[in-house]
Amino acid sequence: MPTPVTLIPGDGIGPSIADATVRVLEAAGADIAWDVQQAGQAGVASHGDPIPEPTLASIRRTRLALKGPLETPVGKGFRSVNVALRKEFDLYANVRPARQLVPSPRHYDDLDLVLVRENTEGLYIGKEQYVAQGDDPQAAAESVAVVTRAGSERIIRYAFEYAVAHGRRKVTLVHKANILKYSSGLFLEVGRAMAKEYEGRLAFDERIIDAMAMNLVMDPNRFDVIVTTNMFGDILSDLISGLVGGLGLAPGANIGKDAAIFEAVHGTAPDIAGKDVANPGALILAAAMMLDHMGQPETARRVRDAFTAQIQEGQVRTRDLGGAAGTVEFTDALVARLRG
């Protein structure tokens, strides 16, 4: 019986890359029953809500979703629809692989990194307020970062277990405990203690966030699996995407105990929506991650291998990768390759 999956096409270029991804997965033989739902601006247009109840009900039922980029409506009560979905389903682990498929301007060799980001705590909890001084009620602004021991333990454990399961060699914990001695200090303390459980199986090291940014640009191959807090992970995940060709090749997974949402991590790109120029690669690669999660690894491998071969051969690439193909032409070629 096909596995039910909620499909959220999204906004901007989302519907076109979602359609491309569905076609590719069908050509690869993925055993999926799609339940198409709306969110973001499309959710407002169809249901008057950026996260409609039918969409939430679908994800509760399927426990799996593939999501295109979403636009957060202004003045609708959400700082981010994406963050709201993560909170709703407690999707605490954001997994962002970055694998080199096209030549790098700095000539990195075979770069293959995975960033594991805590997805529900830190500064992104949105606990903010203005602080009055004298007659000015908004003289200062205050944001609170909350890092819990339980939250730190489950994300760092996830990173170590991911590394073991995928035959990785090392976990690097990124922090700012030299300055943020309580919040980052707690995260680092948990990581150091947990690393002892994996001695002999995995190497462990730690880096301060600013040094890590420099190290990733200068010599990223020294790293393997990276685990860090919410905001640091948000920044570093875009940095490592830039090392391997940009956000057009950047898939992401949001994993929780009871649900998982896989996504293209780039934005809606409204300036090119409807122009048949978008690169569907990020969502296709996210769908391959989803297939692994679903227990269809052979189909995931077929999708990745076909996509990689097409990118590396270079005859049919989208414009952001130096080619001239549109979304449909790129997808047609990939579907033909999968069907042999």
Residues 201-219 have a mean pLDDT of 97
Same domain? For 308 and 340 the reply is: yes
Residue 75 has pLDDT above 60, yes or no: no
Predicted confidence at residue 248, as pLDDT, reads: 85
- Are residue 145 and residue 187 in the same domain, yes or no? yes
Point out the domain boundary residue: 193, 215, 243: 243
Calculate what percentage of the chain has a pLDDT beyond 90: 87
What pLDDT shows up at residue 162? 97
Which of 7-16, 32-41, 42-51, 101-110 shows the lowest per-residue confidence on average (mean pLDDT)? 101-110
Do 234 and 255 lie in one domain? The reply is: no
Residue 263 has pLDDT above 70, yes or no: yes
pLDDT in tens, 18-53: 999 999 999 999 999 999 999 999 999 999 999 999
Beta bridge partners of residue 118, listed in sequence order:
93
Q: What was the pLDDT predicted at 129? A: 93
Task: Report which of 158, 153, 169 is spatially closest to residue 201, judged by C-alpha positions.
Answer: 169
Q: Do 30 and 121 reside in the same domain of the chain?
A: no
Domain extent for 19:
1-95+246-340
| Encoded tokens for 73 | 């409506």
Both 150 and 230 in one domain: the answer is yes
Residues 82, 107 within the same domain: no
Query: Which residues are catalytically annotated?
Result: 124, 176, 210, 234
- Cα 203 to Cα 311: distance, rounded to the nearest angstrom: 33
CATH number at 283 reads 3.40.718.10
Per-residue pLDDT for 183 more than 90? Answer: yes
Give the pLDDT confidence score for residue 107 in this predicted structure: 64
Q: What is the mean pLDDT of the chain?
A: 94
The answer, yes or no, to whether residue 225 has pLDDT greater than 90, is: yes
* pLDDT for residue 195 is more than 60: yes
Q: Which of 208, 243, 278 lies at the terminal end of a domain, its last residue?
A: 243
Dist. CA 90–CA 205, nearest whole Å: 28
- What pTM does this model have? 0.93
Q: Are residues 227 and 326 in the same domain?
A: no
Residue 318 DSSP code:
B
pLDDT at residue 273, rounded to an integer: 94
**Final residue belonging to a domain, choices 225, 243, 261:** 243
User: Taking residues 251-263, what's their average pLDDT?
Assistant: 97
> Of the candidates 115, 53, 118, which has an alpha carbon nearest to the alpha carbon of residue 88?
53
CA distance 100 to 338: 21
Cα distance between residue 41 and residue 186, in whole Å? 38
What percent of the chain is predicted at pLDDT more than 70? 97
Q: Are residues 212 and 253 in the same domain?
A: no
Statement: residue 106 has pLDDT above 70? no
What stretch of H or E contains 171? Answer: strand 170-175
Q: How many CA atoms lie within 13 A of 34 on its CB side?
A: 17
- Total domains in the chain come to 2
Asked if residue 195 and residue 163 are part of one domain, the reply reads yes
Q: Tell me the mean pLDDT in the region 255-279.
A: 95
pLDDT at 147 exceeding the cut of 60: yes
Q: Are residues 264 and 230 in the same domain?
A: no
Q: Clarify whether residues 324 and 238 are in a common domain.
A: no
The reply to whether 232 and 115 lie within a common domain is: yes
